[in-house]
Amino acid sequence: MSRVSILLLGLLLVGLSLFMTGELEAQTPTRPEVTSLRFEGNETFPDRMLRNAIITRESSCRSFILAPFCWGGAEFAEDRAFLTPRTFRDDYARVQLFYYVRGFRQAQVDTVMDRSAENQVSITYLIDEGRPIRITEMRITGFEGDARAGLADNLPIQEGEPLDLTRLDFARDTLTQRMRDRGYAHTDVLRNIDIDLVSYEAQVEFDVFSGPFSRFGEIQIEGNEKVSESVIRRMLPFQEGFQYSQAAIYEAQRNIYNLEIFRHASIQQDLDHQPDSLVPLRVQVNEGDAHRVRMGGGWNTAECFTAESRWSSRNFQGGARRLVLRGGLSNLGTPQLEDSICSGAGSEEFGDLNWVVSADFTQPFLMSPRNALSASIFAERQSLQDVFVRQALGLNLTLTRNIGRGNPLSLFYRPQLARLEAAEVFFCTSFLVCDPQEIDILQDFNLLAPVGVSFSRDRTNRGFSPTAGYTVLVDLEHASAVTGSEFDYERIVAETTRFLEITSDVVVAGRIRGGWLGAGRFRGLEGTDGGPTPRIAHPQKRFYAGGANSVRGYAQNQLGPEVLSVEVDELIFPREEGMDPVCGPEAVAELSCDAAGLDQDRFFVRPTGGGNLLEGNVELRFPVLQPHLRGGAFVDFGQVWDSSAGISLGELVMTPGLGLRYSTPIGPVRVDLAYRPRRSERVRVITSGLRAFDPDRDRAGDRIVGPDGETIDWVRLDELALLEPRYLLEDDPGFSWRRLQLHFSIGQAF
C-alpha cells in the first residue's frame, strides 16, 4: 500500500510539474519578481495584518511540504509573484489608510526597493507609527428607559483604546442590534467624533434614535404545499402581537431550516408599514422532496469496505416529522484482505461481517420549537477490534432542547439487550473473572440501560474544517437497577477543541479529551459463589485509544492496557526439533510459566481498555495545492489507565505524523501517517489452563496431543490461566518501519 501511494504521489508531482512549467513559461514575465516583502517599525500590528491589507505579494513555496522541491528550483512547487508598478503605488496608500483608520493619524510610511539581482526586487516598508489618538470619553445619548440597561456593556471598543474606525462601526452595529432585539425595530444609531489633534484625544458619542416600541404584526406563510401552515407557525418562537426581536427572526429561520424538508426559507419584514409600531412578516419557504433514497460505500483502514443505504421520509404522517430506515454493512472483504489493505479491521471473529439495521423517528416540535424528541430502534452486530464482538437489540430515546444557537442539551435513555462474543480474555484479565461458567453469564444476553445528559457548544465558523472558534462537549451517564440495567456504572466524558488561523489559510487546531468510568456491580453474578459481587464494567463502556480519530501512531484501540494471548501448545511443546519447550505443563498449571523464550510474533495482542482516559491532538493544517489538497502536521498524545492502577502523566505517549486531506462535498478524504515511540513494557500473558490427567474423571482422548503426535498426561481446561512473570513487550531500538501507522478515513480527525 505504501509503495503504491508513493508511486501515485510521484506521478502527480511530475504531471503537475509539467503543467505548471508550461504555464509559467507561457507567461514570460517582463516585470521583476518580488523575492522579499518586509515591514519595519510596525510595533502595534503584526506583519500578517499588513500583508493582508495590500495586494503585492512575494514569491514563496506553495507549501512547506514541497520545500525540498523549492530548494531544487522546481517551478511547480513555487508560487511566484511579480511587481506591478500601479499596484505598488496603490499599496503605499493602502498602508497609510490602514493606519489612519485604526487611529494612527500621524503615521508615516516609506518604501525601499532593492534591485541588487537581475529582474528581481525586494521591498521593505519603513513605518513610523507615531502617537495614536485615544478615546478619552464614549457616551450614548438620545435614548432613556429600561431598555438602556446593559446597552453599553462589553462593546467592541472601550475608552482608553485607539480611535479605530472599524471597531467603532462594529460598536455602532452592536448597539443597533441590541436595541432591535429589545423591541425597537426602527432603531438608527449615529456616530459623532470630536478629535483634539493637540492632545491626541477623542470623544465619541453614539446618538440612538430608537423610534417607537414595536410588536410583530400579521404573519403570512407562502410557498408551503405538503407541510401545513400550522407546522411552520409553531416553529416560530413568537406570535402576532409579541415584542419585536431581530434575534427571534433569525432563530425562526434556523428552526424552519432544521425541519430539513425545506430547500429555502426566508423571513421578510415590512418596516415601512403604518402604524410603524407593528412589523408584519412574510415567511417564504420552498419545499424539497418529501422522500429520499441514498446509497453509498467506502473504504477505511478501521472497517475495510463499507456499504450503507437509507430511505427517509421528511414529512412522515405530516407535521414535518422524520422517519429514516437505514441498513449498513462493514468489514466487507476483511477475511480476504486482512493481511494487506484491511489489516486494521481485525482478524478471525473480529474481522467477520458487521451489520446494522435501524429505524429513526424525530418529532421536531414538542411543546416548543426548541424541543425535539427522537426515538430509534436498532439491531446490530458490531466488533471492537481484538476486544469483543457484540450483538444487540436496542432503543434510543432522546429529548433535546436547544438552549441557544449551537447549544443543544439532551436527556437520553438507551436500553439495549446485548450479547458478547470473544470477550473471555477481557473479563479474565480486567476483572479476574476466569471461571468459564461466570464468563458465560457475562457474555450471555444482558440488559445495559443507561440514562444520561449531554451538552455541547459549537462556536466554530464552519461545519467542515473550521478555521476559528471552539467546541465543548460534556456527556454524563448512569446505569443501575433503577434504570433497569444489569450493569451498574457512572461515566463522564469531556472534550474541547480550539481552532486558530495564524496566517492566511494556515490553521492550528487542538483537542483534548478526558474520561472517567466508575464500575459497579453486575447483578447477574450475585450469589453464584456466596462471595461479594465483583465490580464489573461492560466492555462497551470502557475507554480505548488509538485510531484515525485518536492517537494516530497506534492502530484502532491499541493504546492502553493490553494482554498477550497465546495457545498453550506454543508454551509446552518445542517449536522445532531439538529445541526445549518454553516451559513445562506443570508451570502452566501453577501459573508460573515464564513465556520470555517465545518470540513476540507468536502472541496475539488483546487490548482491555481502562477506566481513565486522557488524549489530545495538536495539528497544523496548511494548503498544499489549492483549492482542494491540504496537508497536516500533527502531534497526538494520550494514554488509557486501568481504574485500579491510577493515573500517571509520565506514561503519556506522543506520536508525530503528517497527512493529506482532499476536499469533497461530503468532507475531506484524509490520509495520515504517524510514528509511535519505542515500546518497552511488561504485559500479562493469558493462555488455557491445564491440570494433570486423572483416569478416574477423564477419558483417554482428553489428553493433550502435541504437533508430533506425542500424547502427554495433561488435560486442557476451559478456564483461562493468567501467567506470571509478565512478558517484556519491547520494540527494537532506533528507527523502525514497523512503528509507522497508516490511517485512511473521511473527515477531519476532530
Quote the pLDDT of residue 167.
Answer: 95
388-398 pLDDT tens trace: 899 999 999 99
Grid cell of 505 as nine digits: 489559510
Q: How far is 671 from 667, CA to CA, in rounded Å?
A: 13
Write out the DSSP string of 163-175: --HHHHHHHHHHH
Domain match, 6 and 123 both:
yes
In this structure, are 10 and 97 located in the same domain? Answer: yes
Comparing CA positions, the residue from 496, 648, 630, 455 lying closest to residue 560 is: 648
Final residue belonging to a domain, choices 113, 128, 143: 128
What are the CA-CA distances from residue 556 to residues 83, 349, 387, 415, 647 (Å)? 51, 16, 11, 26, 22
Looking at the domain assignment, is residue 193 inside a domain? yes
Is there a domain that residue 684 lies in? no
What type of residue sits at position 57? R
Q: How many domains does the chain have?
A: 3
Answer whether residue 65 is part of any domain: yes
Q: What is the pLDDT of residue 708?
A: 82
Q: Specify the pLDDT at position 142.
A: 85
Taking 70 as the pLDDT cut, the residues of the chain under it are 1-30, 64-65, 147, 526-533
Residue ranges with strand state E in 142-200: 188-196
Residues 194 and 235 in one domain: no
What's the rounded Cα separation, in Å, for the pair 509 and 222?
43
| Amino acid (1-letter code) at residue 468 | A
pLDDT value for 713:
92
Number of H helices, E strands in the chain: 12, 34
**What Å distances lie between residue 287 and 224, 228, 712, CA to CA?**
7, 11, 77
The reply to whether 584 falls in a domain is: no
Q: Are residues 142 and 198 in the same domain?
A: yes
Check whether residue 13 and residue 119 sit in a common domain: yes
Strand pairing class (120-128; 33-40): parallel
**233 and 205 part of one domain:** no
For residue 110, is it within any domain? yes
Which structural domain, as residue segments, surrounds residue 246?
Answer: 215-287
- Does 219 lie in the same domain as 205? no
Three cell numbers, residue 13: 508531482
Hey, what's the cell of 569? 501448545
Tell me, what's the pLDDT at 505?
84
Judge if 155 and 194 occupy the same domain.
yes
Q: What is the pLDDT of residue 437?
A: 87
Same domain, 148 and 115: no
Alpha-carbon span 438 to 522, nearest angstrom: 11
**Do 200 and 121 share a domain, yes or no?**
no
Distance CA 533, CA 111 (A): 81
Domain boundary among 99, 128, 157: 128
**pLDDT for the residue 102:** 95
The one-letter amino acid code at 612 reads: N
- CATH number where 272 lies: 3.10.20.310
What was the pLDDT predicted at 376?
Answer: 97
Domain limit, last residue, from 165, 187, 209: 209
- The answer to whether position 186 is within a domain reads yes
Instruction: Please check whether residue 79 is in contact with residue 59, taking contact to mean a CB–CB distance below 8 angstroms.
Output: yes
Q: What are the grid coordinates assigned to 573, written together?
A: 511443546
- Flag whether 250 is in a domain: yes
Kindly report, residue by residue over 493-547, the tens digit of the pLDDT.
999 999 999 887 899 999 999 999 999 988 877 655 555 667 888 989 999 999 9
Residues 121 and 63 in one domain: yes
**Given this model, what pLDDT does residue 144 score?**
77
Phi first, then psi, for residue 91 (nearest 5°) are: -65, -35
pLDDT score, position 634: 97
DSSP 398: E
Q: Do residues 230 and 253 both lie within one domain?
A: yes
Residues near 10 by beta carbon (within 8 Å), at least 6 away in sequence: none
Q: Tell me how far apart the alpha carbons of residues 614 and 605 are, in angstroms, rounded to a whole number.
A: 22
**Residue 68 placed within a domain:** yes
